[in-house]
Structure 1
């Protein structure tokens, strides 16, 4: 009987083709498994009995058929079965439940971040570690020093929270635009990253009582100082994405020419390099930068827009942790904690350019 080329591929394999099929089969299962786990390997030993039986049956069928593409197709299924099982097993712990990402030590950057959802103070205490989202590049509030350790006004507050909860602290670096997302996704328990309270943000997260007050300011080169809000209309304005400065300009001055950056260091570098005429940010940050670079820059506008408050934030609906933070603020106010924090972290930067009463909030009361 004559056959078509396609029929021959199915019904009449050559010796070479049969040998190729046999080699492929040996690569998956049987007594001569060459390409995959051997009969005595750890990977195969961990396979459940039903998985091993299913694979052996598929391999046996492939071996008996030796029918060109048919055999290879069955072999492919067997191989896929093994790979799929091992992939699932890699994602599951020995108990069969999803395993969590490994936790990095306090102050580490670029490490995997656990997403475990909102946790109560009791749950945080039981875990032994609180995860706090902070800035890593915004002096003097949250930054990484030359010794690789976090430092700043927000950092001192965060450490006190951990101390009173009797737990270790894990600092998780955040960008301005990612603060809300890190809370809503459960990557951190608390955000202490110079977080200005706004109605829009309050719809997504729960803010504790404030521990600082702030307005916007504008930094510009000394020789071309911007001293009035009206002057900003014709300037190249630099902002950090997701900040109150960004939101204020979009709402009040959508016609201004603005350039947005993800990080504060990117914004300051753009100002230094002349890629913008003025940087609009929190007045506390503006003054800190201009004082550090007083030979080149000045904070020509110290109050732009309304006076706002800065507070810690937790995941929406985490009432227990929110209440704990508010009670903690009252207790800290009795010992003038934030005035001491100011003396330690902000006064060396601001000197006589600012007074603690202009920035500090004690006991959560404006």
Structure 2
């Protein structure tokens, strides 16, 4: 019996080609979300009946659990309103500052409303909707050892939370300052109270609230670096939810929702020292 090697080789090549095409089709995974098929598109959320929102659980007055076990706060109120307007229920996914992006990318949440500051670096890993707040990095310290200028921090420990704008700013712009980093807001504020650092840096918008409840401390440096903006974030490429959220922010601005939300959730914590215009963006921004 004569073996036709040419036919065998030709057949083997054909089989290998089909296998390669099949494997490439199976292994190809888009790096970004497909707006119509991903689990966080508007159609998928409506079908599921639940909007999954990543929020803080320990950051008054933005997102925390009160004494009655209820989630409350400025970002929480926004999340509930968005879910209502979408016609679905809301489910809160508790996050820390350093796992907000991972929570989106692992599809545990559809959107982040966790005092999330826009930065060029974060723009590479999430899509930002229209902002609804403006903030700056501030520095809080004990009144009896008040820090009023950055030069006073040289050679001292400055407390920050990992993954925050404050950490990024001092790491890149103030390299002479030694940073003591923590995973959560609760941990960082406890460290300040325990004297583990000379001061603490974070968004001034909630440092104002914290010192009102802790009168032995003061925001000695109210603003470091440029003004920045707080905005909702969705998974990169999720155009469906991004477009819906942009329209929702525009609508809520026109209805003065954010001013009302400020008066209800933030004003009791900030007092008269902070004005709504210091935090809330004007309509059209």
* TM range, smaller chain: 0.7 to 0.9
Structure 1 residues 257-303: Cα deviation after superposition (integer angstroms, max 9, x where no partner): 11000000000000001111100000012111111111x10010110
Counterpart of 1:257 in structure 2 is 178
C-alpha separation between the residues in 1 aligned to 2:262 and 2:155?
Answer: 36
User: Offset of 1:362 from its aligned partner?
Assistant: 4.6
Q: Distance in 1 between matches of 2:59 and 2:145?
A: 25
**Cα distance change on mapping 1:301 and 1:324 into 2, 3 Å:** same
Choose the corresponding residue for 2:258, options 338, 351, 355: 338
Query: 1:118 deviation in Å?
Result: 4.4
Higher relative contact order (CA closer than 8 Å, sequence separation 6+) = 2
Q: CA deviation at 1:174?
A: 0.4
Alignment correspondent of 2:231: 311
Q: Give the alignment of 1:313-332 within 5 angstroms.
A: 313-332=233-252
Any idea what SS the aligned residue of 1:234 has?
Answer: coil
- 1:237 match: 158
Deviations 1:37-65 (A, max 9, x none): xxxxxxxxxxxxxxxxxxxxxxxxxxxxx
1:227 paired to 2:148: yes
**Which of 179, 182, 196 is the matching residue for 2:117?**
196
Asked if residue 155 in structure 1 is aligned to residue 76 in structure 2, the reply is yes
Structure 2 equivalent of residue 352 of structure 1: 272
**Equivalent residue for 1:20?**
none
2:94 matches 1:173: yes
Q: Which runs of 5+ in 2 are unaligned?
A: 1-36
Deviations 1:186-214 (A, max 9, x none): 11000000000001001000000000000
TM-score w.r.t. the length of structure 2 is 0.85
Structure 1 match to 2:187:
266
> Partners in 1 of 2:197 and 2:186 — Cα distance?
14
Residue correspondences, number:
249
Q: Deviations over 1:126-154 (max 9, x none)?
A: 11101000000011001111111111000
Q: Please give the root-mean-square deviation of Cα atoms over the aligned residues, in Å.
A: 1.2
Structure 1 segments unaligned to the other structure (5+ residues): 1-115
Distance 1:193 1:315 in 2: 14
Partner of 1:276: 197
Give me the whole-angstrom Cα distance separating, in 2, the residues matched to 1:328 and 1:182.
22
C-alpha distance in 2 between matches for 1:267 and 1:219: 12
Is the alpha carbon distance of 1:226 and 1:331 closer, same or farther for their aligned partners in structure 2, counting shifts above 3 Å?
same
Deviations 1:67-114, CA, capped at 9 Å, x for gaps:
xxxxxxxxxxxxxxxxxxxxxxxxxxxxxxxxxxxxxxxxxxxxxxxx
C-alpha distance in structure 1 between counterparts of 2:39 and 2:130, whole Å: 19
Within a 5 Å distance, the mapping from 1:1-366 to structure 2 comes to 118-294=39-215, 296-363=216-283, 365-366=284-285
> What are the superposed Cα offsets for residues 238-257 of structure 1, whole Å, 9 maximum, x if unpaired?
00000000000110122311
> Quick check: 2:38–2:44 contact (8 Å CA) kept in 1?
no
CA distance in 1 between counterparts of 2:220 and 2:155 reads 16
Q: Which has the larger radius of gyration?
A: 1
Give the 3 Å change call, closer, same or farther, for CA 196–150 of structure 1 in structure 2: same
Change (3 A) 1:261 1:117: farther
**1:339–1:356: 8 Å Cα contact kept in structure 2?**
yes
Partners of 1:214 and 1:191 lie apart in 2 by 17
